[in-house]
A and B are shown apart, each in its own frame.
Chain A
Amino acid sequence: MLFNSLAFALFFPIVVILYFLCPHKYRWILLLAASYYFYMCWRAEYALLILLSTVVDYFAAIQMSKLPEKSQRRKWLYLSLLVNLGMLFTFKYLDFFTGSVNSIFESINILYHIPAFNLLLPVGISFYTFQTLSYSVDVYNGKVKPERHFGIFALYVSFFPQLVAGPIERPDRLLPQFRKKIDFNYERIVDGLRMMFWGFFMKLVIADNAVGIVDTVYRNPANYDGLQSILATFLFAFQIFCDFAGYSIIAIGTAKVIGFDLMQNFNRPYFATSIREFWQRWHISLSTWFRDYCYIPLGGNRVVKWRWYYNLMVTFVVSGLWHGANWTFVVWGFLHGAYLIAAIIWEPFADKINKATGLSKLPRLTRVFQIFVTFILACIAWVFFRAQSVADAFTVLGNMTNVRWGQFRWNLFPRHELELKVVLFFIALLTTIHCFQEFLGWRNPLFSKHQPVRWASYVIFGLIILSFGAFTSSQFIYFRF
């Protein structure tokens, strides 16, 4: 079920009403049933995979808790890793793997072709497997105690607001919340609804209206010039941000209405002054997951320099691969790893240059410049993320080197002229609001303390969503990861 569907518009109020009517001790049953229904609306049989992951991790954790030594617990951790990563590999990477092997065979003249399996990728598999893995690893490390209530644990794995696209929650944050008694709280519910409202604005008005132009260019990049390629990439940067941040905000708002606090997943990432800061603001739940379960176990930065760089690169390449089974994602991850390593190497020189040029005396200007450079670097990486192949990505980048700015006109994309105006206008509006929040510490107008401002914002943004939103029930981009 999509958040931006009629089905959800009916499903959610029913769940909320039943939730507050239901006695506390039975609420987990309601939420579990709602969560499985939410997932099964997409494809019922794939709920079995969630169930398998739940059963294996539940029993593995119980078994681990009975064993005092890590070495004894290890086999149960391996079981959990094998099942979750095995599922992920089978459904997400098998065809990518066989395709790559076939290419190697072809290049060395081996006439053997492994057939493609063409398995349908289960929605959200990367998210819930990572969530359950974090539980198994935390139990293994003795960080959390195993959840003995199977129903509550099943709910932790399948909790519908964040089931298909995160935020990827940690057991020590989410599990205790299922036991907490939650009363009807007007302020909290309204806060949650406001967040959902804002998420829908980002998704329906900006992300979904940018799709047409972005898809047009990236489907046949060779047919478009530099200006069109730059514009499409700029729009994609906002499309993916508004799509995913929009989803996360709706998810957090949805959970808040029924009394749960999910972690913040985005914090105005395009205001980051470095790629390192970008990753502290973008998809926070995933980047912290990789930090805690991949980067730090590899040794983090407490190792010799080359090993530190290696750890960074491995973490980002794996993170790229997590996003999709395609070499474009690998290159995207590699680029981000390379950016970070370059920044570490560059750091001492940057300080010297800032002092020598006097830029250190102009911190605001420096900050704006850094934000700009970081955004450009992120956009270059987005080209690989969005392109259908590495070759296509290089075509787009090649186009971008040949730009005639004077040729800008509104009908650069004749079939999407109005969409271009609308999207750019609302991107400007969003960026202005974010600027006020970032630099002046203002609140989002929907959350203003002044009632007239708040209500005017409700009506204005409500009308914008209704009138300019693209109501085609398009999927959220991150569902496919």
Chain B
Amino acid sequence: MIRREMLPLFGSLLLTVFSACAQTTLTIATVNNGDMIVMQRLAKQFEQQHPEIRLDWVILEEKILREKTTTDAAAHGGQFDIVTIGPLEAPIWGRRGWLLPLEDKLSSSYDLNDLLRPMRDGASDSGHLYALPFYGESSMTYYRKDLFRRAGLTMPLQPTYDDISRFAQKLNDPAHDLSGICLRGKPGWGENMGYISTVANTFGGRWFDESWRPQFDSPEWHAAVSYYVDLLQKYGPPGSSSNGFNESLTLFENGRCAMWIDATVAAGSLSNAKQSKVASTVGYASAPIATTPRGSQWLWFWALGIPSSSKHPEAALKFIEWATSKEYIQLVAQTNGWETVPPGTRESTYKQLQYLDAAPFAGLTYRSIMAADPLHPTEKPVPYTGVQCIVIPSFPTIGNQVGQLIAAALVGNMSVDEALHKAQLATERVERRAGLLHQ
């Protein structure tokens, strides 16, 4: 028989069981990078503020995450309540009805107008916002101030590609294991093509004309790719065709590159003395330009969206509002320091003096992001949006193919002419199959 004194104990136990049953579990699919891991750690505070919501995390490498979330969103599998997506997915998935539009659902306290305009544009389609940016980046030029000083060179705030090849020539010193320049060479739409697209843009090129005809046979693409191949072959590190972001970061951090043009996110690692041997001598400048500044810096973000198959959209909205809010940025600053806050999403972040002090590259990051315009990425008119990441479903296929051909030209397996001719034919084939090109 149950003793009378035991009843409150059973009562509280039952209450706990019932409240656990009433809890909403959100499954969040996100990418494995430093900012997301911080979010996962700090999300315990969100769970404390919202005891009715429990968070389950699925953290994966970018490529696997993309395959998994695309399968689930397309099949309306409902495995995820929140997905982490980039500028390629947000507008396309939104247009297809795979994501919930957010602009009318956000609470009044969420400062939507504080989001950086290029990020907001990149996550929108036809006036609907489909994801809230959590982290954003552009590209910039990193250089070794000590080497420049010794060689009597000065890096302008806005270098041109002529400056870059002149500096690379002067500073290249293979005898001392120092390359004049490091750039991405590993083939892939998010690897070498991320950078090469910005070179093509600033040389006046574009991926497609208004009738979706590929432009690899244009003089602009020829000039851009010839420049890139020539620069890396003459002044790049050995084995450039296998260098992506991580490999180039390691080379620069270990003092093996005089210059590097890549993502603004690298600035944090390069200036961290625990990780980088060149922390005290690294300098920052804008991404170089050639004939036009348009499209010379890339634009990338990770944003949080809610699939239309989510079982708990209201709770999911609460979480993504929290994770992309000004208050979250303050929370990261208080917990881990200002230099670790997720960059590139909010105007208010760049008005914080503590942040500008802690991150000397912050001003340049902000200017680079604001200068990138995904809606008008090139000098000549184009039928697409996106600076280096063209927002069409076939872009990963095209980007990977073209990336492989340019990497083949880089290692000398074919000429630039041959690579671009093959790129033109391959892209035309894909576009015809996709129904974009009709001749």
| A, B co-complexed | no
